[in-house]
Amino acid sequence: MKTTVRVIAGAAQHIEGVPPHSVDLVVTSPPYPMIEMWDGVFGEQDSRILERLAAGRGLEAFEIMHSLLDSVWRECDRVLKPGGMICINIGDATRTVDSNFQLYSNHSQVLRTFFRHGYTALPDILWRKQTNAPNKFLGSGMLPVGAYVTYEHEYILILRKGPRRRFTDSQEKALRRRSAFFWEERNVWFSDIWHDIKGTRQALVDSVTRRRSAAFPLEIAYRLISMFSIQGDVILDPFVGTGTTLRAALACGRSAIGVDIDPSLTPVAMETLISMRRSANTYSRDRLSRHIEFAKRRAVDSGPMKYCNVNYGFPVMTRQETDILLPDVISIARSNAEVVSVEYADSPQLDFDSASMHEMPAYRGSIQTMGQRSELSSSGTGTDSQDDLQLYRS
Ligand SMILES: C[S@@+](CC[C@H](N)C(=O)[O-])C[C@H]1O[C@@H](n2cnc3c(N)ncnc32)[C@H](O)[C@@H]1O
């Protein structure tokens, strides 16, 4: 499999080079209106914003900032395929303007825009990020009624363009099965509150750049891409910053396009992409190792699982997981100043630590060797049974 990752320096309102209906999934985090660190970026795009803020007219500034974001959402709508999804990480803002402290509800403005475009909103995720900031408790201290609730979450909005995507040809169906996630991952990823993702620790990007760009954690983009696209799909991030979404797309075996108005960030994104082969492959291997640990615990607690993955030979909970094949990057090469080409192996990672599976008493002797895996494929694939769905609900 081959993919490409492209980084464009410029305003996401104008990505005419990206053809209509060419993107399968948008994953992004815009600058948050009314969060002070983004006043300058918004102000440079529309001078009325700084004037309104200076005049203490917070709600007017808020509306103009959202009209700038709206013009990017319009462009996302143009390039997104029917049935494609949009995942937007956005936080609401609390701010005092003209001595009045109030909430500026960014997520509801964004939802309103997408409703106008006819999108279907799906259940969102609350990303719970605890803060230890000294000014965490605001307002009148222990005295009613003027103390304020501490804001420690952000939204991940999930929207769909038109009816559900259909997978019709056999190649797409096979890629979808290969892109499935593990049962135990599903139980965490599709929960409505993510409280297991902390901070923005990313070895690939230095801390100054990360702070300046307000990068989100790689795991957020990685999960969303795995949840709402298949291998070989095209992912767009119109506010790509340091390129977190692009790195996650590369690790997930997807093509990607990232756009950022700050020209100093695009070289950062390109450099980290070029050098991430080892870290991308470690991410996949860690998933495999976590699955093996899960399978071992499950064997001890509840006995053997019913199905076996045809590529790795380890046990899985459901028939839908039998074809999972995590991407393994062979090479990343720069094609030109803004594009990297990526090549992946078509076979499973054989060097990950599968030996530990054999220590499982419940599976000793029952783990399949590579030679035996072809037999499994006939029993392990097929349509999804009621049985599998039952497992999902339990
Ligand atoms: C919250 S940051 C995104 C951080 C990114 N998720 C990461 O992990 O690095 C928002 C980004 O949007 C960019 N931006 C703001 N307005 C833009 C526009 N009109 N077009 C493209 N990028 C824009 C900013 O320069 C900033 O890098």
- Reported as a single tens digit per residue, the pLDDT across 332-375 is 999 999 999 999 999 998 776 555 555 554 444 344 443 344 33
Q: Ligand 1 centroid vs 184 CA: distance in angstroms?
A: 33
Residue of 70, 206, 213, 237 with the most ligand 1 atoms within 8 Å of its CB, for mutation = 213
Please choose from 41, 204, 209, 235 the residue to mutate so as to test ligand 1's pocket, defined by most ligand atoms within 8 A of CB: 41
Half-sphere exposure of 218 (CA within 13 A, CB side): 20
Residue type (1 letter), 217: P
- CA 63 to CA 59: how far, in whole Å? 6
Amino acid at 32: Y
- What is this structure's pTM? 0.91
Pairing assessment for the beta strands 100-104 and 93-97 based on DSSP bridges: antiparallel
The minimum-distance atom of ligand 1 relative to the CA of 242 is 9
β-bridge mates for residue 97, sequence order = 100
> Which amino acid, 146?
G
Residues of the chain with CATH 3.40.50.150: 2-28+76-265
Could you give the CA distance from residue 298 to residue 307 in angstroms, rounded to a whole number?
A: 13
Q: Are 61 and 38 in contact (CB under 8 A)?
A: no
Protein residues with CB under 6 Å of any ligand 1 atom:
11-13, 29-31, 41, 72, 213-216, 238-239, 241-242, 244, 259-262, 265
Per-residue confidence (pLDDT) for residue 381, from 0 to 100? 33
Question: What are the pLDDT digits (tens) for 197-237?
Answer: 976 544 445 655 655 668 999 999 999 999 999 999 999 99
Q: What CATH class has 2-28+76-265?
A: alpha beta
* DSSP line for 294-362: HHHHHHHHH---SEE-TTT--EESSGGGTT-----EEEEEEEETTEEEEEE-SS--SSSS-GGGGG-GG
Q: Which residue has the tokens 């993702």?
A: 197
Whether 228 and 216 have beta carbons less than 8 Å apart is answered as: no
Is pLDDT at 180 greater than 70 in this prediction? yes
